[in-house]
Amino acid sequence: MAFWIELLISGLVAGLVIGLSALSITLVFGIARFPNAATGDTMTVGAYGALLGHRATNSLLVGGLTGAIAGAIVGFLGYWFIFRKLAQRSNVALLVASIGLAFVLRAILGVSFGHSQQVFQLPLVRPWRIGDVPVHPNDLVLAGACATILAIVFAILHLTPIGRRMRAVADDPALARVSGISPSSVMTVLWLLAGAVSASAGIVAGIKTVVSPEMGWDLLLPAFAAAIVGGIGSPVGAVVAGLLIGVVQEMATPLVGFTYKIALSFLLMLVVLLVRPRGLFGKLEGAR
């Protein structure tokens, strides 16, 4: 029993990573209207940024900030130099360009940091025990950090004027433009936010496992799956679906084996696309 609870907990932590990256994807999809394949590699940027910050100051907080800022900058630069130029083009054009960006990011990181896996040097802490179940304090800190990030994102979306404008654009970009809301301040905030959120996902993943140039891309499919399962365009859906997929993946590992974990998220995505294309919470036109 303790065994399953352990899996549940690690599933929830994995789910936070997937949920955050799915949140980034769904924000971009809802407002800029295309699936951003550079999300994964932005996660990697965040992880490396945090690594550098942590190495320099030995503070995880500083590392987290440097990572998030790195992600935000990358998100913004991608918008400024690439996606802005493609604003009138089809969603496929934007998707292909985002794949190009993903490759460029991965190449830069690969050449700068090499291909070996790196880890965050964190002091070893003994896990606490609640009953039979080991609970790692680090996991709690990470969960807390993620919850804070989510709270900030939702606060921005629902409590600030720019958030209101962003949601208006998500509902109807033509309408938003007509009522005098300038799209590009919305876009700027969107990409800074989306970049920071993906970076955070990457930082958590890097702390829990390892940091390598491919790590983000490997997590891209589960992130897409969660965004779709949750209902593309729904931030709540992305997070919920992310947690769901994280838990399902971890708890199914004893049954299906380690490598097939990721195939599960792909399978879930297919099922949702077949049966209920608008996902759990989605309201957009959906998949067709």
Q: Is 288 one of the binding residues for other proteins (CB under 8 A)?
A: yes
Q: What are phi and psi of 135, to 5 degrees?
A: -125, 120
Q: Which is nearer to other proteins, 2 or 271 (CB)?
A: 271
Q: Is 277 one of the binding residues for other proteins (CB under 8 A)?
A: yes
Q: Which is nearer to other proteins, 155 or 256 (CB)?
A: 256
Which of the ranges 62-70, 127-135, 157-165, 268-276 carries the binding residues for other proteins, by CB under 8 A? 268-276
Judged by CB under 8 A, the chain residues 133 through 192 that form the site for other proteins are none
Interstrand relation of 133-135 and 128-130 (parallel, antiparallel or unpaired): antiparallel
Q: Which two tokens stand for residue 152?
A: 């900030």
Closest approach, Cβ 47 to other proteins, in A, equals: 17
Closest approach, Cβ 262 to other proteins, in A, equals: 6
Question: Binding marks (x or -) toward other proteins, 199..238, rule CB under 8 A?
Answer: --------------x-------x--xx--x----------
* Buried-state track 182-209, b at ≥16 Cβ within 10 A, e below 16: ebeebbbbbbbbbbbbbbbbbbbbbbbe
Q: Based on C-alpha coordinates, what's the Rg of the chain?
A: 18
Q: What are phi and psi of 118, to 5 degrees?
A: -120, 155
Q: Which is nearer to other proteins, 72 or 269 (CB)?
A: 269
Binder of other proteins out of 2, 147, 155, 263 (CB under 8 A) = 263
Up-side HSE of residue 128: CA atoms within 13 Å toward CB?
A: 7
* Buried-state track 44-75, b at ≥16 Cβ within 10 A, e below 16: bbbbbbbbbbbeeeeebeebbbbbbbbbbbbb
Binder of other proteins out of 143, 162, 262, 280 (CB under 8 A) = 262
Q: Which is nearer to other proteins, 143 or 287 (CB)?
A: 287
Question: Binding marks (x or -) toward other proteins, 72..111, rule CB under 8 A?
Answer: ----------x--xx--xxxxx-xxx-xxxxxxxxxx-xx
Closest approach, Cβ 250 to other proteins, in A, equals: 17
Q: Is 259 one of the binding residues for other proteins (CB under 8 A)?
A: yes
In angstroms, the CA 42 to CA 48 distance is 10
Closest approach, Cβ 113 to other proteins, in A, equals: 10
Closest approach, Cβ 58 to other proteins, in A, equals: 29
Binder of other proteins out of 19, 35, 231, 242 (CB under 8 A) = 35
In angstroms, the CA 2 to CA 257 distance is 19
Taking the CA atoms of 152, 155, 161 and 163 in sequence, report the sign of the dihedral they define: positive
Q: Is 48 one of the binding residues for other proteins (CB under 8 A)?
A: no
| Contacts of residue 127, Cβ cutoff 8 Å, sequence gap at least 6 | 134, 135, 136, 137
Q: Which is nearer to other proteins, 7 or 287 (CB)?
A: 287
Question: Coil, strand or helix: which one is 232?
Answer: coil
Positions that interact with other proteins (CB under 8 A): 34-35, 82, 85-86, 89-93, 95-97, 99-108, 110-111, 114-115, 213, 221, 224-225, 228, 257, 259-260, 262-263, 266, 269-270, 273-274, 277, 287-288
